A and B are shown apart, each in its own frame.
Chain A
Amino acid sequence: DIQMTQSPSSLSASVGDRVTITCRASQSITNFLNWYQHKPGKAPKLLIYGASSLHNGVPSRFSGSGSGTDFTLTISSLQPEDFATYYCQQTYSVPLTFGGGTKVEIK
């Protein structure tokens, strides 16, 4: 199974900050990497698919990069509605696996 390791597991940031979350795969997954946002009591939302493609309707302050084993999600200017938990997911091979999550909290 491919293990997905996210860092950090949590972070505190202020509105307007640039935030970077990393995700590392235990083997190459080329660009089969997706990012989701999850808020308590809500369904997860797809942000980025294929490592760097922005899903329809997602604000342009979100961006993704990377290939192979190392990936990054960047929020260029954190907004109040962005406080949530973020997950990476690999869809390179079954079983599909998620990272452990990064909780973004208000500083």
Chain B
Amino acid sequence: EVQLVQSGGGLVQPGGSLRLSCAASGFTFSSYGMSWVRQAPGKGLEWVSTIMGSGSSAYYADSVKGRFTVSRDKSKNTLYLQMGSMRAEDTAIYYCAKDGPPISLRPGFSDHWGQGMLVIVSS
């Protein structure tokens, strides 16, 4: 059974940093791209970032490019989102997701999702 367990959310001051983690199990981690998607209060879903299975390619929304970094640790089967220079508009529930299909060369659909983690940027 695919499981994605998130950790690391919380309150951070404007300009501060925070790292989200997503521990994966139940599938061959290195074979799948992984994504981060967020939902700001009262808003819809917004794609944030995708990293391919090999870790060699990563993609970002313009709204976070240069401030957020996605990475993955194959030895720990864990996905990370390092968030920096944070702004009030980064306040949202952040979801990690496993993407399909396997061994893909491009970002794909998100077929399993983590439980979500609330991040609040406020002084």
Contact = CB atoms under 8 A, between A and B. Distances in A.
Contacts of A34: 109-110
A103 to B, nearest CB: 10
A89 interface: yes
A56 to B, nearest CB: 8
A37 B60 CA distance: 23
B44 interface: yes
Given A44-B37, A44-B95, A91-B106, A98 B111 contact: no
What secondary structure prevails in chain B residues at the interface with A?
strand
Nearest to B96: A43
Contacts, number: 59
In this complex, the interface size class of chain B, counting residues with CB under 8 Å from chain A, is 20 to 34
A101 B61 contact: no
A43 B114 contact: yes
Nearest to A97: B47
Contacts of B115: 43
Nearest to A53: B109
B45 A49 contact: no
Nearest to A43: B113
Interface string A18-61: 00000000000000001010100001111001100001000000
B95 to A, nearest CB: 6
Given A38-B45, A43-B95, A98-B45, A91 B107 contact: yes
B9 interface: no
